[in-house]
Structure 1
Amino acid sequence: MDPLNPLNISNRQNLDDFELEALREPYQTILTISYIIMALLAFIGNTTAIATLVTGRQRSAPELKKYLINLFTTDILIALFSIPFSYTDFMYGQWIFPAIMCPITQFITGCAVCVSVYTLIAIGIERYLAIVYPFRQLLCFERHTKFAITIIWIIGIALSSPLLIESRALEFKYRNKILYDCRELWDQELGGKVYTGLIFITTFIIPLIALSFLYISIGVTSATNTVPGNSNRDHVQQQNRIKIVKMLVILVISFAACWLPIQVFNLVMWLCDDCRTLTSQFQINIYVSIYFICHFLSMAHALIDPIIYCFMSHNFKMDQLRSYMYANCAYNNRNEKRGEIIKFRSNFMSNTHSATNGNVSEVAV
């Protein structure tokens, strides 16, 4: 959930004393270009990662592929519905989009974050059972993966549904103009504080504790247990498992590093009444600056996931190389066929022209 707009936490009777746009036009342009580039790269990167996972020939850990596709899908949702909308509300000090988009974007953003973090937990559990208990068929992963993903989306929708109900584009008057601001309209302020604390605990504290336990256990098991076999094949499989665990640990660390600042910022602004008393333009500018640093970092996480997966997954690189070679071959074949057609047409026209000239000569004789 987004923090309060700086104008909402000031004295609304004296809004005309403040500048609606906390950033000047040159900074707005730089910020807009940065967010647009980030959104485009996040969309292209995650779409490419999903396409590679779906069309790739690597068959190892098929259940892991499904979870990764689910993770990258949430990043695409953030790139489409969160990045373009959330920063403009703060940058312009008003909601410039249709009013109906306010609760929709808030809901989708909250749901995407919840689904993303619980997908990381599901991946951690799957790796934990596969590595710590490799010989115990406790779960048929392929059969339960779709069910687990469905449950994750149900949890995400349930946790973010209050945003769909409580978020509204609120009308306010500023210098004789009627403007709108996207905010949460809780009947009681305590409701907003409780919900903010609940989101912080369920989407950050509990997942971080669970993921720490899972990957510490995996690390201890990988360090202490020997490979059950002496063949090169067993050794390669063990090395591949370690590489996958390293990649997943970095995914978790990047999630925590990117989302911790904005989570703490939201929590402080909702729970600390004194922190919401901004009485000068300078204080509002500081507030907005801190927010944009935290917000940009959290939105950048949608771009980081496919980059980590690209650089740390050997299978991904091989599938990408195979796709490039296939596309290059298809392009060359198409050009060769086009050249053959052009050559055939040229020869045909030349022969036809020669035959026509011959017939004319015969008639003339």
Structure 2
Amino acid sequence: MASNVTRNWTNQFAQPPWRVALWSVAYGSVLTVALFGNLVVVWIIVAHRRMRTVTNYFLLNSAFCDAAMAAFNTLINFIYAAHGDWYFGEAYCKFHNFFPVAAVFASIYSMTAIAMDRYMAIIHPLKPRLSATATKVVIVCIWVLAVVLAFPLCFYSTIRSLPRRTICYVAWPRPAEDSLMYHAIVSVLVYMLPLVVMGIAYTIIGVTLWGSEIPGDSSDNYHGQLRAKRKVVKMMIVVVVTFALCWLPYHVYFIVTGLNKQLNKRKSIQQVYLSVLWLAMSSTMYNPIIYCCLNNRLSPVVLQVQSGLQKGFPVVSFHPCIEL
């Protein structure tokens, strides 16, 4: 996502080597963990046919978005934010500003689709669920909407050569009004709206799962299913809350700096931006960790796969680790 800070940067934002080194470690850690964790999730779902469920298709889409954003934007964003000089050409400038908005949109609406799928499964269990084909159509529709939302950033992004550096920025027709309006729209569509929808869905689900039980049904099977459903809902709530906390400062930052342009001229704003950017980019690495910690079937599978590979034998048995 394009930073309004870079348009106003001068040499006063040059950082000492030790500070650049610390930020490099912080951003490098996000890149490494996000890539490894999300690619493991992708591999588990893609490589094992029994993992290809409706919910897991949405998890796959979300993991792909997080891995791609970590690979294509985290490091580049850090280099540009730390140095204020764009080294990567105009074509990548357009992609750099376009892709994060599209990826975050696709990721969060995949999480929203999971919430609605859970809602239908638990609140209306007798109604038909999405088929695999319908799920793929929904994912395609999500990506189409994501591209439409992010397209203005691609269309208006450009680079400009200044005496001491090159900048990549979004050249809005009306810079002040258009930039603020666009970031407000993105904040509503990519942050507030999906969080409200998921909040309502999981609240209703939570009341249903924790507030009522079938009278007289004390079978082990019933209580086992109830515990499994509660565990899944807990996991997805943690995912949603983590997303909300990671991206809130980022959206607030752009709204505040859009309303008060003078903030962009302060030297301290660079460290503020690097901090909120790191927190936002770090959201790409948490979901695989959450899946592992809150789903007790994940760790045994990972250990089983690692053990089989170390011994040089194919892993012939598989127990679902993200099956919802």
TM-score by shorter chain over 0.5:
yes
Q: Distance in 1 between matches of 2:80 and 2:55?
A: 37
Q: Distance in 2 between matches of 1:214 and 1:332?
A: 41
Greater gyration radius: 1
Which residue is equivalent to 2:157? 167
Q: Distance in 2 between matches of 1:332 and 1:256?
A: 40
Quick check: 86-95 or 29-38, which moved more?
29-38
Which residue is equivalent to 1:301? 283
Native 8 Å contact 1:5 1:183 kept in 2: no
Q: 2:221 aligns with which of 233, 238, 241?
A: 233
Q: How far apart are 1:125 and its partner, in Å?
A: 0.4
Q: Distance in 1 between matches of 2:102 and 2:207?
A: 33
Native 8 Å contact 1:3 1:270 kept in 2: no
Native 8 Å contact 1:58 1:315 kept in 2: no
Q: How far apart are 1:2 and its partner, in Å?
A: 3.0
Q: Is 1:181 the counterpart of 2:171 in the alignment?
A: no
Native 8 Å contact 1:66 1:145 kept in 2: yes
SS at match of 1:100: helix
Q: Equivalent residues in 2 for 1:63-78 (5 A)?
A: 63-78=54-69
Q: Equivalent residues in 2 for 1:233-252 (5 A)?
A: 233-252=221-240
Q: Distance in 2 between matches of 1:24 and 1:296?
A: 19
SS at match of 2:5: coil
Quick check: 313-322 or 301-310, which moved more?
313-322
Residues 34 and 25 of structure 1: is their aligned pair in 2 closer, same or farther, counting only changes over 3 Å? same
Q: How far apart are 1:321 and its partner, in Å?
A: 3.0
Which residue is equivalent to 1:62? 53
Q: Distance in 1 between matches of 2:218 and 2:311?
A: 40
Q: Distance in 2 between matches of 1:50 and 1:193?
A: 36
Q: Is 1:147 the counterpart of 2:146 in the alignment?
A: no
Q: Distance in 1 between matches of 2:99 and 2:314?
A: 43
Amino acid in structure 1 at the alignment position of 2:137: F
Equivalenced residues, count:
313
Which residue is equivalent to 1:343? none
Q: Equivalent residues in 2 for 1:74-85 (5 A)?
A: 74-85=65-76
Give me the identity figure in percent.
Answer: 24
Q: Deviations over 1:243-262 (max 9, x none)?
A: 11000000000000001001
Which residue is equivalent to 2:26? 34
Which residue is equivalent to 1:109? 100
Q: Distance in 1 between matches of 2:235 and 2:50?
A: 17
Q: Is 1:19 the counterpart of 2:7 in the alignment?
A: no
Structure 1: stretches of 5+ with no match in the other structure: 334-365
Q: How far apart are 1:115 and its partner, in Å?
A: 0.7
Native 8 Å contact 2:2 2:170 kept in 1: no
Native 8 Å contact 1:169 1:182 kept in 2: yes
RMSD, matched Cα: 2.1
Quick check: 317-326 or 32-41, which moved more?
317-326
Native 8 Å contact 1:166 1:184 kept in 2: yes
Which residue is equivalent to 1:360? none
Q: Distance in 1 between matches of 2:25 and 2:300?
A: 33
